[in-house]
Each structure stands twice: as structure tokens, then as C-alpha cells.
Structure 1
């Protein structure tokens, strides 16, 4: 006779509940003190593990290519690309978090309590840093499109680097404020084989506002403004009516508009990947959720780190050109960093 069981398992960025119809003990020799493990048919578990493993490898590899590209080629050392570099570093590290998610697929945590805390902290730091960087990218594009004359003086490489450092510092600070109990790992586990961290209700609401509602509101408002200005400029460029800037400035404007469109796609992908997760986060208070839905939203949440470099591949010609340099090992040649890849 199959018993219906309800458990909690920690995953980034908060803990969650789910239901399972077929379970067994994570540590059979511990009896009732052990957590229960989810048992799935091979036809279900094998594709899940293959998919997560593939996403992990591709996420790490593609983001590593972005990191090498922007770091190596001096022509790409612009404020916007420095922000993309910060995002790629966060996404690169997220690729390794798939490993922990694979370990949690059956509902059991086989590592120590300290590793549970490490996973919790790293995941929160990386995801909050990614969200903060997306907001910085939106601000960068807003200034570039809506105030192009003052963009070179307002947004400089040094200021971009300072904003990136501040973003990561705030992410670390926010994480240690969010996770209250960090000195006593495992104290809130209800059974052996569980990875939970106590999070106060106020902290959960804070996370919802600071990591989703407020950033999304800023991003949407900025890109609505960018879209309106981009459409008006595109019409003026097409008709050549009312365009009083020199030809050189017109070319720069077209470049900025193209970058805004590309990064707009990046933001849309960001919202599509994160929104389902926070919908589930809100709905969990009304009851347990199905494990299939839980796995899907977590994987979708992490897959944003895989999606970002794919956007660069398809929409940035310079990135495709740089990939050829890297794959053919031309970047090892003397003076390759000075190559004109734009």
C-alpha cells in the first residue's frame, strides 16, 4: 500500500514543499529518523538526469566562452560588455549548481550540513547578482538610447566596474541578511537527509520584493521607455525626416538601438525563466505542489544562465566571430587581443 507523504527540501532561493506518491527511506538503516526518498521509473529519471547534466555542461562552456571573449579582446572593453561579463561570470557559476540540483532530484541530501549551507549561500549570491546585473544592463541601455549625447560621460568603463563591484557586494550582504541561521547548519532539519535553512517569513517577503517585484518593475519601466524612443528614432532614420545629427552620430544611434534590442531579448528571456518560479513560490502557501512542477520551475530558473550566452550566439555577430578565434586557438597568437572583431 502506497502512503502519501509530504516533505520539505531546500533549494535556491528558498525552501519548498512537494508531494510524492512513491517514496522510500534515504538512509534505511536509520529507520523513521531518515527522510524519505522519491522513487521514479528509469524512463523518467534517466532523461531528467541527462537533461540536467547537459544543461550544466553547456551552461559552463558557453559562459566560459563569453568570459574569455570579453576579457581577451580589447575592442570589447566597453561598459555594456563589462556588464555582460559580470552576468556571464554569475551564469558560469550557476552551471555548477546543476550538480547540487541533480543530488536533490530524489529528495535526499547525501552531503554534510555545511555543504547544504554552502549551496544555499552560493545560490543566493549568484542569483541576486544576476538579477542586479540585469537591472544595471537595463539602466545602461536606457541612458544609451534616451540620452545618447551624455552617455559617454555618464557611463564610463570605470563607473561600470564600480557598479559591478557594488552589485556583487550588495548580493553577498543581502544573502547573509536573508539567511538568518548560518552558524548552526542542519538544526532545522526534521529528518536525516534533509537540506533546510530557517528563513523567517519577513525575509521571504523581502526576497520576493527585492529579487523579483522591484527589479522587474524597474526593468519593465526602463524598457518601455527605451522601446518608445527606439521606435521614434527608427522611424526618423527610415524616413530621414527630422534627423539633424551628422552621419557618424546616426551610425552610432543605430548601433545603440541594435544593442538595446539584443539586450531586450535577454531581459525577456530573464523574465520568462524567473516568473514561473515566483508564481510557484506564492502558490505554495495554499498547499503542496506536484514534484513535476517543482522540478520544472527550478530547471527553468537555472536554465536562464544557459539561455543568455545562446542569445549572444544568435544575435551578436562579434561573438560568433570571437568563437572562431577561440576554437581555432588564434587567441594564443601574439597581438590577437588587438584584432578588430567588430
Structure 2
């Protein structure tokens, strides 16, 4: 089969994306398995997301290239091949929702997180996410499709019903979760602003341990920021292809260049290659892990855990006294009545050794 230049470029880029996604996400999974410091609750979800991205490299990129070439010629094989793309997209989205919920609980209610967000709960959430993603993604295989191809030439638009893709998949299980995640992260940073204002108030009172409290809280904030970037990049990579699908389905007279469609498809697959780099940029422990894996660097940097300070201590068997920061001692009760405590705040009151406060992380 003779391919034009555009086809050759597309197939070559899909191959590069597949190899890069496999290598990058395999390194993330190896790092989490090899280094106990990375085996915390948040990274359970990161590992699940990395598995989905790894499978994109193994299956989706090659299958997309085959579909572009009109393969496989078998009808059910073509439906299944194109449905796998949707399955792994849904898995990534649901894992990102899990991460957003986990970060929200860790910052909004750290004591509830400390008590209830266990590895068992994380595994249950991940399992539910994968099961739902598989069911939603394989709906075309179960019968919601366009039927056998007329010329036995496989193509996404030849077998996948765009009523399913636009109304059911995009509006129901892509756009809606993205909006939910946007609301969650917006509220997280609203909480962060409130807490930083309270920490600043403690700094004005020149309390000796405030700097430590601020440092710990900033690590939780940095974790949320890093994961918000992962969410933002996912949206930027996947929204264009869904917009083009919606245009094709909702506007019968509209058209766009085929190269634009191919670029949008490649962009969606590129998302699986960039996530490992985002983890490395956003988490100093991943940076140290990668350095050790390649260069045998010192583990000194492993003292900091940017993604969560709560789950780190639980892995050592401490269920309640999890990585508690030093309290800020208050000389009297006057600050209790000025809004520094409450059920909706991360600044909590302790009765041990007199009137003290600490920010739980």
C-alpha cells in the first residue's frame, strides 16, 4: 500500500508517541514500586493513571494507526479497536476525578483524610473507576454502533455512532467530569487563600513555629497545583478532538481539513506522554527517584514529599498521629474567638499542654 506524505508523517508520529508513552509511564510505575517514599495514597491514583497512559502507548497509538490504514477489516474487530480508545480516555478522566477528590479532602478536612482515606479506599475508588470506564467505553461493542462497514474498510467514523460519542460520551462522561474537576480545584484554591491568610496572621504575631506550619501547608498546596496542571493539560489535549467530533455531528454542512483532525488525534495521544514529565516537574521525590534510577544520586532529596504529608506516615503504621507539625502555642484564649478554629478550617485547636494551635497536613 502506497501512503502519501501526510499518512507517513501521521503513522511515524503515532509510533513515536507510543514508544515515548511506554517508556515514560513505565518509569513512573517502576519508581513507585521501587521507592517506598513514593508509595502513598495520592501516588496510588497516579500509578493507575500511568497504567492507563502506558496502555495508550501499547495499544491506542498502534491501533489508531491501523484504523487510519483501514484495518482490521473484521467488523467487530474494528468496533473493538476504536472502543479501546474511549475506554482508556474514560479511565484517565475518572482517575483524575479521584485525584481531585483526594486532594480536596486532604486540604479541606485533613483529619477526616487521615482517618478514612486508606489504601484500601484508594484501591476501591480505582477499581470502580476502571470498571465504569470499561463499561462506558465498550458500549459500541455491546451494540450501539453503525453496523458493518460497507467496504470492509475500518474507520472510526464508519463504525462508531456519533450520537454515542457526542451526547453520551462527550457531554455525559467527558465534559461533565471536567467541569466537576474545575469546580473542585477552584474551591481548593479558595480554601488555600483562606488558610494562607490565617497563617499570615500567625506570622504577624511572630509565633516561632509558624514558618514550619507554612512550609507544611505549602507542600499540600504544591501537590494540588501540580495535579491541577495534570488536569489542565488533559483538558487541553482532549477537548479539541471532541469539539471536532461535535462539529461533524451537529453541523452537517461544516467541514475542516483532514490534517486538522489528525493533529487533534495526535494531541490527544500526546497527553499520555507528557504526564510523566509533569510528575517529575511537580514532585521533588519523583525527581530524586529518577535521578537515582539513572545516576545513582543521593537520597537526600527524599526528605520532602510534595504530593502528601498525610499518607506518608500512615505507610509506617501510624493511623492517627500522622506527620503532625509542631503546634503554635498561644498565650491565651483571645485568638480562639477570632475565627482561627472551626469545623470548616484546617487550623485546629488542641488541648494538650495548654492552648495550642496547629495546621494539620
The alignment's TM-score, normalised by the length of structure 2, stands at 0.72
Answer yes or no: is 1:189 the counterpart of 2:149.
yes
Structure 1 residue 266 displacement after superposition: 0.7
Structure 1 residue 289 corresponds to structure 2 residue 256? yes
Query: Residue 99 of structure 1 corresponds to which residue in structure 2?
Result: 62
Q: Residue in 2 aligned with 1:8?
A: none
- Quickly say closer, same or farther: Cα 1:224–1:243, change in 2 above 3 A: farther
How much does 1:140 deviate? 1.0
Q: Is the 8 A contact 1:321 1:341 kept in 2?
A: no
Which one has the largest radius of gyration? 2
Cα deviations across residues 170-206 of structure 1 (Å, max 9, x unaligned)?
Answer: 1122233354328xx9942021222443537367411
Find 2:277's aligned residue among 284, 301, 310: 310
Distance 1:108 1:74, change over 3 A: same
Q: 1:204 to 1:166 in 2, by over 3 A?
A: same
Matched, 1:273 2:273: no
Q: Matches of 1:245 and 1:284 in 2, distance apart?
A: 62
Q: 1:231 aligns with which of 167, 170, 193?
A: 193
Superposition CA RMSD, Å: 3.0
Distance 1:341 1:221 in 2: 29
Aligned residue for 1:151? 113
- The Cα shift of 1:241 comes to 4.6
- Matches of 2:208 and 2:258, distance apart in 1: 58
Structure 2 residue 226 is matched with structure 1 residue 262:
yes
Contact in 2 for aligned 1:179/1:199 (Cα 8 Å): no
**Pair 1:319 & 2:286 matched:** yes
**Contact persistence 2:73–2:152 (CA under 8 A):** no
Q: Deviations over 1:208-246 (max 9, x none)?
A: 223222101210110110111123333444562589996
- More divergent stretch after superposition (271-280 vs 172-181): 172-181
**Inter-CA distance 243–127: structure 2 relative to 1 (3 Å threshold):** farther
SS at match of 2:111: coil
Instruction: Quote how far apart the aligned CAs of 1:67 are.
Output: 0.8
Give the conservation status (yes or no) of the 8 Å contact 2:75–2:152. no
Contact 1:274 1:300 in 2 (8 A): yes
Q: Is the 8 A contact 1:181 1:198 kept in 2?
A: no
Equivalent in the alignment of 1:34: none
- The farther-off stretch of 205-214 and 244-253 is 244-253
Counterpart in the other structure of 2:331: none
1 CA distance for matches of 2:292 and 2:28? 12
Deviation of the 1:74 alpha carbon: 1.7
Structure 1 spans left out of the alignment, 5+ residues? 1-25, 27-36, 331-335
Provide the secondary structure at the position in 2 that maps to 1:162.
Answer: helix
Check the 8 A contact 1:236/1:243 in 2, yes or no: no
Q: Which runs of 5+ in 2 are unaligned?
A: 306-361
CA spacing shift, 1:244–1:280, aligned 2, 3 Å: farther
Assess if the C-alpha contact under 8 Å between 2:140 and 2:160 holds in 1.
Answer: no
Is 2:43 the counterpart of 1:85?
Answer: no
Matches within 5 A, 1:123-134: 123-134=85-96
Is contact 1:103-1:109 (8 Å) kept? yes
